[in-house]
Chain A
Amino acid sequence: NAGVMQNPRHLVRRRGQEARLRCSPMKGHSHVYWYRQLPEEGLKFMVYLQKENIIDESGMPKERFSAEFPKEGPSILRIQQVVRGDSAAYFCASARGQETQYFGPGTRLLVL
């Protein structure tokens, strides 16, 4: 059983470009969480989604960030007009129910 997949693993963008981060949950998991890890910090919750629904986006910045989890395909975290402060590691976690979350390897975003 494959684990949580994230791609790309590394992403470099220039200021003002868009970043798209993808997360494929483990088989049988319909709950997806996104977290951001800034340098030298712990992970901070961003958003929680179930298929086709955003359940909790209380950790998402109000502007430029959006997330989706369509009926088919991976969950996408989209960052528009990236700025240097968006440089971080973005982790996706999936869960079958709402208890144990399993994390992917992360996408390391670098904004030049």
Chain B
Amino acid sequence: AQSVTQPDIHITVSEGASLELRCNYSYGATPYLFWYVQSPGQGLQLLLKYFSGDTLVQGIKGFEAEFKRSQSSFNLRKPSVHWSDAAEYFCAVGGAPTGGGNKLTFGTGTQLKVEL
């Protein structure tokens, strides 16, 4: 069964500091990996995704993530955090699309707080 672990429930960083959010996954085949961001009371916005190819993927809002198969990780990074980045971040894993769909398994999320 597929699973996602986000070991950090809460993270606080100062504005302008760098950020790394951890994500470890368990999946029996080639994973499709996603990072979504959720602001309070809002839906989920896709930050970036990895399907194949270059293991360092660039996303929106200056975020990037690196797929490391040997570590089963897909950590999210940003060089300099802005106050508007405060939100909850979810890592998700799915499989290669089949006729049966591509249901995603989400981690429990990391709440990011940004100190001014």
Binding site for B on A (CB under 8 A): 4, 6, 31, 33, 35, 40-45, 48, 55-56, 58-59, 91, 93, 95, 97-106, 108
- In angstroms, how far is the closest chain A Cβ from the Cβ of B99? 8
Contact between B100 and A56 (Cβ–Cβ < 8 Å)?
yes
Binding site for A on B (CB under 8 A): 4, 32, 34, 36, 41-46, 49, 51, 90, 92, 97-109
Contact between B101 and A33 (Cβ–Cβ < 8 Å)?
yes
Contact between B104 and A45 (Cβ–Cβ < 8 Å)?
yes
Nearest to B107 among chain A residues (CB) is A42
How far is B102's CA from A104's CA once the two chains are assembled, in angstroms?
17
Say which residue of B4, B51, B100, B108 sits within 8 Å of A41 (CB atoms). B108
27 contacts between A and B (CB under 8 A): A35-B106, A42-B107, A42-B109, A43-B90, A43-B104, A43-B106, A45-B105, A48-B100, A55-B101, A56-B100, A58-B103, A91-B43, A93-B44, A95-B102, A98-B97, A99-B51, A99-B97, A99-B102, A101-B102, A101-B104, A102-B46, A103-B44, A103-B45, A105-B42, A106-B42, A106-B43, A108-B41
